[in-house]
Copies of this chain bind each other. A is one copy, B any other.
Amino acid sequence: MTIRLFNTLSKQKEDFVPTTSGRVGMYLCGPTVYSDAHLGHGKTAVAFDVIRRWFVYRNFKVRFVSNITDVGHITDETSDEGHDRIGERAKLEQLEPMEVAEKYMWNYFHDMEALNVQKPNIAPRATGHILEQIEMVETLIANGKAYERGGSVYFRVRSDPDYGKLSGRKIDELEVGTREDVREDKEDPLDFALWKFAEPEHLMRWKSPWGEGFPGWHIECSAMAIKYLGENFDIHAGGLDLQFPHHEAEIAQAEGAGYKFARYWMHGNMLTINGEKMSKSKGNFTTLQDFFATHDPMVLRLIYIQSHYRSVAELSADTITAATSVLSRFRETRREFVRKLELAMAGHDAAFEKKIDFARAQFETAMDDDFNTPEALAALFAMTKEFNAVAITNNKNSLEMGLETFDMLAGFVFGLFPANTSQATQGKDGLLEGLLEIAIEARKSYRLNRDFKSSDALRERLKTLGVQLEDTVDGTRWKLEA
């Protein structure tokens, strides 16, 4: 078995060969915590969560590092007399950027919990690694790769002939973009800031060899990835929008400081809403929290998984309906299959096992080939088809093997059945399921007594509560609305 992945750096699929046998070091660019995460953030997070889980499935020990960008650019606008004025004011009356960062960081982790995204092994915060960033900037200055001007330090882009190798851009074709890029004190408008001089109204500030300031945007990831994964680690991942300039700058910084840095670069594609890119100006900007207020987070997770991580995922009324139906099918099939399993007698069904093994192999082949989740999903459909078709006989051992396989792939790798969901919909210790069975029996009893009025009333009552009943030859089944 070899995992192949598309390396943005080489622009081709490569065999994954770890730096340290049996281990994977993986860095994912995390959120900036000064606003709530939106549907696009969720896609990146879920994409690399599934990839991380696949490495675990393939018996790698993974160290997954994902940063929190909490260096805030919040300024005190009530201050027109500079820094001393701020110093004099009661600390408690001041806006404290860290309090804002902390709030949104918690919101982010709650959103991730709702999406069943596993926590990073380390979630380093930019403000918690100022020393490491200063140290790296000092090294870059010593190596002639950076220079100080007016309390800020800039990276000398033209000193790096390789600059642009990730995004495929050429230095001479780079355009000078933002206002900041044309600051007059830079040697070259292309140079980017490693450390920024803090204007008096800037609230987050640290002492440095260049005076009070704060780190530039790119340096934190270079410094923290190396600190926790080593100077030549396996995978650096992030959203496609970060490829340039952020990741390009990360490479330039790390290599300029004398490190080899990441060996594989992976980028997740974006999410569109009704075919359009999400943006505040288009009015289709949706936070995860807003979405979760009216939708099951697992529907969103499934929408992400239904497209390949390098493809665009589309969110629309249609894709929501489709994903909801797939999710219900998985949940119901699994529940009914558990019921079958409980009724079955010990014994094997070689044909059934063969079909499950075949589907599992199909899933594995798809995932080993650059994490092809849509193809892997097809294998899960094949599996549920077998679950529905299989008869209850003396085949318990085979059914158990089938359930175990399904739970490993749909449950663990795709993460579609989080413990939370089942608690929320099932209550404590099967209480909800027990009560539903009592209700179904009561309805049966009403019908046996030809009390159809009570029977119909009960059915309506359940419907109001979000429970649908379906009468089948095997008895009445229940289904909770998503």
Contacts and interface: CB of A to CB of B under 8 A. Distances in A.
Interface of A: 19-20, 23, 25, 61, 63, 90-93, 96, 98-99, 102-103, 106, 119-125, 127-131, 135, 206-207, 228-231, 233, 423-432, 434-436, 438-439, 442, 445-446, 449, 451, 454, 458, 461-462, 464-467
Name the residue among A428, A432, A465, A466 with the largest chain B CB count within 10 angstroms. Answer: A465
B135 A90 contact: no
Contact of A63 (B96, B230, B436): B96
Dominant SS among interface residues on chain A: helix
A442 B39 CA distance: 45
A20 B25 CA distance: 48
24 contacts: A19-B90, A23-B93, A63-B92, A63-B99, A91-B229, A92-B233, A98-B228, A102-B119, A106-B119, A128-B129, A425-B428, A427-B427, A427-B432, A428-B466, A431-B466, A432-B435, A434-B465, A435-B439, A435-B465, A438-B462, A442-B442, A442-B445, A442-B458, A445-B446
Given A207-B131, A228-B96, A466-B431, A233 B442 contact: no
A130 B207 CA distance: 12
- 10 closest Cβ contacts across the A-B interface? A128-B128, A91-B230, A442-B442, A435-B435, A434-B465, A20-B90, A23-B92, A20-B92, A99-B121, A427-B427
| Count of chain copies | 2
Given A428-B424, A432-B432, A438-B442, A125 B122 contact: no
A123 B102 contact: yes
A127 B128 contact: yes
Contacts of A438: 435, 438-439, 442, 458, 461-462
Contacts of A99: 63, 121-122
A124 B120 CA distance: 19
A463 B127 CA distance: 54
A125 B123 contact: no
B119 A98 contact: no
Contacts of A130: 131
Nearest to A98: B122
A317 to B, nearest CB: 23
A370 B157 CA distance: 62
Contacts of A467: 431
Contacts of A129: 128
Contacts of A119: 102, 106
Nearest to A94: B230
A423 B464 CA distance: 18
Given A93-B20, A233-B91, A461 B445 contact: no
A440 to B, nearest CB: 10
A481 to B, nearest CB: 9
A266 to B, nearest CB: 18
A454 B142 CA distance: 85
Nearest to A439: B438
A436 B424 CA distance: 16
Contacts of A135: 207
Contact of A91 (B25, B96, B124, B466): B25
